Structure 1
Amino acid sequence: MTGKLHLIRIGDHYYPRPDRGWGSCAEELLHHSSRYYHYTEAFLRNLAGDRRFVLGGYRAEDLSEAQRGVLAAVLSLPPGAETAAACIRIVEAVCAGRDDVDADLAERYRERLHVVPREEGAPVEHSFHDPVPPRDLPPIEPFLAIAERLQMPVAVHGHVVELSFRQLARHLDSPRPQVRVNLQNAILWLHQAGYHLHDHPGLSHGEARDIGDDGAV
Structure 2
Amino acid sequence: MTESKNVNGHYYPQFDTGWGSFAEELFHYTSRYYFATEAFLRSLVHDNSFVMSGYKAARLSSEQRDLLAAVLSCAPDEASAAVVISIVEKVQRKDPSIDAEALEQYGDRLNCEHQNEAADRRTHATVQQDVSSLDPFLNLAERLQIPVAVCDHHVDVSLHALAEHLQSPNSALRTNLHNAIIGLHSAGYVLRNHPNLTHSEARDISDDGVI
Aligned residues with identical type, % of pairs: 51
Query: Which sits farther off after the overlay, 105-114 or 199-208?
Result: 105-114
- Partner SS for 1:14: strand
Write the distance in 1 (CA, Å) between the matches of 2:15 and 2:176. 23
Specify the code of the residue in structure 2 equivalent to 1:175.
P
List per-residue Cα deviations over 1:25-55 (Å, max 9, x = no partner). 0000000100001110011111122221111
Matched residues, number: 195
* Structure 1 residue 179: Cα displacement: 1.1
Write the distance in 2 (CA, Å) between the matches of 1:49 and 1:11. 35
Specify the code of the residue in structure 2 equivalent to 1:162.
D
Residue 130 of structure 1 aligns with which residue?
none
- Partner SS for 2:202: helix
1:45 and 2:42 aligned: yes
Is there any run of 5+ residues in structure 1 with no aligned partner, and where? 118-135
* Structure 1 residue 178: Cα displacement: 1.4
Residue 141 of structure 2 aligns with which residue?
147
1:29 to 20, 26, 30: 26
* Structure 1 residue 141: Cα displacement: 1.0
List per-residue Cα deviations over 1:158-183 (Å, max 9, x = no partner). 22110011111011111111111111
Matches within 5 A, 1:18-167: 18-114=15-111, 138-167=132-161
Residue 13 of structure 2 aligns with which residue?
16
1:183 to 177, 181, 184: 177
> Given the two structures, how large is their TM-score scaled by the length of structure 2?
0.88
* Structure 1 residue 63: Cα displacement: 0.5
List per-residue Cα deviations over 1:136-176 (Å, max 9, x = no partner). 96111111111001000100122211001111101111111
Write the distance in 2 (CA, Å) between the matches of 1:37 and 1:80. 19
Residue 196 of structure 2 aligns with which residue?
202
Is there any run of 5+ residues in structure 2 with no aligned partner, and where? 115-129
Whose helix proportion is higher, 1 or 2? 2
Alignment RMSD (CA, Å): 1.6
Write the distance in 1 (CA, Å) between the matches of 2:155 and 2:131. 17
Query: Which sits farther off after the overlay, 60-69 or 49-58?
Result: 49-58
Specify the code of the residue in structure 2 equivalent to 1:197.
L
> Given the two structures, how large is their TM-score scaled by the length of structure 1?
0.85
Write the distance in 1 (CA, Å) between the matches of 2:47 and 2:167. 11
Stretches (4+) displaced over 6 A: none
Given that residues 5 and 115 in structure 1 are in contact (C-alpha distance below 8 angstroms), is that contact kept between their aligned partners in structure 2? no
- Partner SS for 2:132: coil
Go from structure 1 to structure 2 and tell me whether the alpha carbon gap of 1:141 and 1:116 turns closer, same or farther (over 3 Å shift).
Answer: farther
- Partner SS for 2:181: helix
* Structure 1 residue 115: Cα displacement: 5.3
Go from structure 1 to structure 2 and tell me whether the alpha carbon gap of 1:137 and 1:164 turns closer, same or farther (over 3 Å shift).
Answer: closer
